[in-house]
Structure 1
Amino acid sequence: MTAQQTTTASEQTTTQYHWIMTVQTSDGRVNTRTAIITVPDGFTRASAFDYVFKQFKADYGSPLTVLFFELQPNRL
Structure 2
Amino acid sequence: MGVMSAIIVDDEPLALERLSNILSEICGTEVACHCHNGRETGGKIAEIRPDLVFLGIEMTKLTGFDVVTALSINILL
**Same fold flag (TM > 0.5):** no
Instruction: State TM-score, norm by structure 1.
Output: 0.31
Instruction: State TM-score, norm by structure 2.
Output: 0.30
Larger Rg: 1
Judging by fraction of residues, say which structure has more strand.
1
Which one has more relative contact order, counting CA pairs under 8 Å at least 6 apart? Answer: 1
